[in-house]
Amino acid sequence: MKKIYVVAIIMIAVAISLIVNAANDMSTYSTFSEAGSISHKVKIAGKLAKDKPMVYNPEKDPNHFSFFIRDTKGEEHKVVLLKAKPQDFELSEQIVVTGKMKGKEFIATDLLMKCPSKYKDEEVYIKGEEKKG
Amino acid sequence: MENIQYINEDLWPGYLGHFAIVTSFVAALLAAVAYFMATQKRNEPESDSWRRIGRWAFGTHGLATFFVIGLIFYLMIYKQYEYQYVWQHVSDELPFRYIFAAFWEGQEGSFLLWMFWHVVLGAMLIFTAKKWETSTLATLSLIQVVIASMLLGVYLGWGDDPTKVGSNPLLLLRYTMDIPLFKNAEYLKLIKGNGLNPSLQNYWMVIHPPTLFLGFASTSIPFVFAIAGLWLRQHTEWMKPALSWALFSGAILGTGILMGGAWAYEALNFGGYWAWDPVENMSLVPWIILIAGIHTNLVARSTGQSIRSTYMFYLLSFLMVIYSTFLTRSGVLGDTSVHAFTNMGLGWQLVAFLGLFLLMSILLMAVRYREIPTPAKEEALASKEFWIFFGSLVFLFSAILIAGSTSLPVFNKIMQYFDPTYKGRVITEAVEHYNKYQVYIAFFIGLFSGFAQYLRWKEPNWKANIRAFLTHSGAALVLACGLSYLTSLWIEMKIWQHWLVLISAYFTVIANLDYLIFVARGNMKLAGSAFSHFGFGVMIVGILASGVNKKIISSNPFMMEGLIEGADEMTARKNILLFKDAPMEMNGYLVTYLTDTLDGLNRTFTVNFQRKDKQGKTVETFDLYPNILYDKSYTKIAASNPSTEHYWHKDIFVHIPSLPEVEQNFELKKQKEDSLKYKPVTLALGQVTPFADALKMGNQDSISNFNYQITMESVDLQPKHKDYNPEAGDKAFGVKLKVQRNDDDRIFFVEPVIVLREQLVYTYSSQIDPLSAKIRLNQEAIPQVFSFEQELNYQTLELGVGANKKWNDLNVTFNGFDRQPKHPDLQLQNGDLAVGAKLDIRTGDGKTYQAEPVFLIRDGQPGNLKVEVPELGLHLRFALLSPKTESIQLLLAKSTPKGQNITVEVASDSLRSDYIVLEAILFPGINLFWAGSLLMMIGLAFSMFQRLRSKLSAQSA
């Protein structure tokens, strides 16, 4: 057998083991009730509960921003993001938070949000600063 | 839409442009067909005429493409907002230098940029490729056909739901949305452009996209050569020109990717140069595969091995470029990427693009596979080619891992197509995931690129080489271990894998240096590879230093003391609150937020870093200027730009993730200001006045009591206030106050100011941030300080030129007339006669003041303009002039500032807003990363030039 084939077979074996291993890095979008029962980090996708308070008081703690999101199952929980409040947060359509449950709160270390694109909301700026849709 | 005769719309550029797009598409198609025929009939005389048609068609295609680009620029420069693309990317305020950036901000513009480079590269092939011209241009033209179809903007099919083919960049705005505005025939007068996204308004957006797209475009050249090689069965000949092009492409695409990293680092605020974002990944993958192709290409040219893999790598590299285009432009990445384009509905077209060239590659490869020559003798284990090939496999492996993980959203989509209940998977921690695997790739590449330099092609006699091999690589390994140990004193190796990577990186650095000096010995043909591998090693050390060891120095000091639980949460906390003028200790630096300035929409903060030695002497100090950009209405922050201090061995990077709410939104600031609950308190000069205020706190019913002691120390007739710019004619004063709150032992000195300017009153309040209190002067205080004209008791004083007289305790000297007097209230009209009297006024304690009251005759009526000496409370008028005796009559009056009872107003609920939220990061050794990666690109470019030179000298010989 050619040596190159040996190499190739070894590499394929490594590749398979890596891919099996990599599956641990992946997860499905979780829900709050699932997150409560597992200890590792999960991602939760949900919508911002706009009627609940959003609190960012940098004078007290610049790394503490709390808000409520409703997950795909409709369950609502308080989320604490250990970062500054992102710009345009109120406009977000969908939010993905990464973190763990801690008691009744979800402690998030990362947040991704999907905002209506600047161009998609089709606002035409009228001269003189007023907007018209 | 009804028939409206729109006013001022310029429609011809739209028609002309669309015509040019169609021309470009059709001409590319013709070029593809003609070049195909020219290639198929290459041994027949008619080939020449086919080639001529091909050239003409490709030329027409190029001109039409350039015309479309020029036309869009024209419309952008003249701000013709009737065109959607112009309206979307340009605005009246957009500086001209960003017109290019605006052009390629959108998908259509970037497709045009891609086509532009293909045209340029195609033209170069026409002039230089000789016998390869027809076969390469046939494929290149076909690529252009597909890209041009993305801009066609026509609908195919029948019925209610025809298929959209391409998106025309010259569409009118009013066709793209249905809003009442377009009922107005003169709508163009009303609208203004949307403009370039503020976070893209920097020079990187001007230079990064064209470089990156030249990189993408140039990967198609090795691709078309590979196709040509398979097509014409010239399995070895094609690789010579392909190699030079691949080296070119590798250098340019690599530079483009690096520029993206530099942009992210310099101007964006995620704090780093690489984030494993899908868009970044998918530009890296074609590059890695291309580099693998370059290596097997070298093997094939030297030994005849690896021809098949060279074919596959070059084919795959361009296919990956198309795949990356699909990923970033079809919307499939969804919320996993921060900077993918928005979906334009071209997904199926992009899939077809990929499918077409994938099928073409697979079919050709399959048909020709068996006839591609391979040497009967397999590579020796100790030969250079074996390990280079192995290295290329490692590259491929790296590319598969990156592309595979990045494609997870595609995999999810496919699974959901078959099983709608399938729950899509995501990578939980992307950065950790990618780093975990690429660490091994870096280790192997470092190792192979080091010792392969000591191996020989086709190893004819391993026994003769083994000694030299073992001494050199052994010595290099020992040195590498030593250097790694020294490095570990500087930066921390967090996991054992980092030790492996560090040693292998130093190993390749030393081995390639050794190779350059002792083996290549000035043989420039071999130097390029040594540069690149040396650069790779340096880059890896740079990544271990600046990436793995990047240190967030703005973490809360309390957390460092373990007062807040949770180590994992600790690392997530990156921001610190920095009050103005209150220094904070960060990693040995005293960091102080000094000032900020607002210039247009741009607000720049000055943050000072200072390091002191043990004696308290400042040994190092520098200022950083992070800034934020407000949106057009000053109601939110549109972009936050970092600022970095560069040292040779480290960088200190800061940016501002957040500001006090009222500083983010000026409308809110005004509202808050207006809603402050001011309460009056009357003060007497020199006395301590107590003042109590009770406030409801938050939404609870608790009430807070604030008790202050306020002392009015003096009345200041020449007041200073940070917001007050004195103008001539102002009547202004401030009161110097000493303020203390009973629950706080600090004493604050403030001076609120009030100004009377042309009947209007301006109040300048003083904020005491640490007490969240604000104090301003009440309007009623003005008459308390300034006596008004009617209350003044003027007395006359007659003076000749040069004379002086006493008035009360003042000595007044008349120094002469001023024929061109200046007075804030004096605006000379025709026929006016104005003259000033230059006066010196000396007080009892020897101070001298100058004043110049003005006498004015206007329309035959005498009049005068008063001056004041505010320090003395002296009012002066020049009432009469006797020309005969040259004497003047002055009116003088003195008003004493009363200041007995002055009312100020205090608000205890003024939230403090004198802080910034700051993130500061220390990047050790980041210059190693830049220098190393740049050296890699220089090595590639150097090899390319060496090859071109030897080609030229071979031709001239």
Residue range B903-918: mean pLDDT, rounded: 85
B177 CB neighbours in chain A (<8 A) are 122, 124
The predicted structure's pLDDT at residue A124:
58
CB contact under 8 A, A27 and B390: no
CB contact under 8 A, B192 and A25: no
The predicted structure's pLDDT at residue B237:
94
CA distance A37 to chain B (A): 17
CB contact under 8 A, A58 and B342: no
B915 CB neighbours in chain A (<8 A) are 58-59
C-alpha–C-alpha distance, residues B821 and B882, integer Å: 18
- Distance set, CA B34 to CA B51, B58, B404 (Å): 6, 10, 38
Nearest residue in A to B344, CA atom: A120
Q: Say if residue B281's pLDDT is above 60.
A: yes
- Distance set, CA B770 to CA B582, B694, B767, B773, B914 (Å): 11, 18, 9, 8, 9
CA distance B265 to chain A (A): 19
CA distance A58 to chain B (A): 7
Nearest residue in B to A113, CA atom: B335
pLDDT digits (tens, 9 = 90+) for B763-773: 888 888 888 88
Q: Say if residue B231's pLDDT is above 90.
A: yes
Structure-derived torsion over alpha carbons of residues B79, B81, B84, B89, reported in degrees to the nearest 10: 40
The predicted structure's pLDDT at residue B344:
65
**Closest among B743, B593, B749 to B660, alpha carbons compared:** B593
CB contact under 8 A, A125 and B429: no
Radius of gyration (C-alpha) of chain A in whole angstroms: 22
Residues paired with B602 in a beta bridge: B599, B629
Within 13 Å and on the Cβ side, how many CA atoms surround B250? Answer: 31
Q: How confident is the model at residue B819 (pLDDT cuts 50, 70, 90)?
A: confident
Q: Say if residue B873's pLDDT is above 80.
A: no
User: What is the DSSP secondary structure assignment for residue B214, as one 8-state letter?
Assistant: H
CB contact under 8 A, B576 and A26: no
A88 CB neighbours in chain B (<8 A) are 636
A18 CB neighbours in chain B (<8 A) are 401, 437
Q: Say if residue B753's pLDDT is above 70.
A: yes
The predicted structure's pLDDT at residue B931:
96
pTM value is: 0.83
pLDDT digits (tens, 9 = 90+) for B374-405: 888 878 888 999 999 999 999 999 999 999 99
Q: Say if residue A126's pLDDT is above 60.
A: no
Q: How confident is the model at residue B732 (pLDDT cuts 50, 70, 90)?
A: confident
The predicted structure's pLDDT at residue B593:
94
Q: How confident is the model at residue B86 (pLDDT cuts 50, 70, 90)?
A: very high
Most confidently modeled range among A60-69, B69-78, B704-713, B797-806: B69-78
Percentage with pLDDT > 90 across chain B: 46
B381 CB neighbours in chain A (<8 A) are 3
Q: What is the mean pLDDT of chain B?
A: 88
Q: How confident is the model at residue B565 (pLDDT cuts 50, 70, 90)?
A: very low
Nearest to A122 among B177, B379, B660 (CB): B177
B197 CB neighbours in chain A (<8 A) are 118
Q: Say if residue B338's pLDDT is above 70.
A: no
CB contact under 8 A, A96 and B576: no
CB contact under 8 A, A4 and B378: yes
Task: Work out whether strand A76-81 and strand A105-114 pair parallel, antiparallel, or are unpaired.
Answer: parallel
DSSP, residue by residue, B507-557: HHHHHHHHIIIIIITT-HHHHHHHHHHHHHHHHHHHHIIIIIT-EETTS-H
CB contact under 8 A, A132 and B179: yes
A119 CB neighbours in chain B (<8 A) are 88, 194, 342
DSSP E strands, B142-297: 154-156, 163-165
Residue range B497-515: mean pLDDT, rounded: 96
Nearest to A129 among B397, B408, B633 (CB): B633
Q: Say if residue B407's pLDDT is above 50.
A: yes
The predicted structure's pLDDT at residue B559:
46
pLDDT digits (tens, 9 = 90+) for A57-72: 888 888 889 999 998 8
CA distance A43 to chain B (A): 6
Distance of CA B539 to the CA centre of its chain: 23
CB contact under 8 A, A118 and B397: no
A113 CB neighbours in chain B (<8 A) are 335
B336 CB neighbours in chain A (<8 A) are 112
CB contact under 8 A, B658 and A82: no
Nearest to A126 among B88, B190, B436 (CB): B190
CB contact under 8 A, A11 and B393: yes
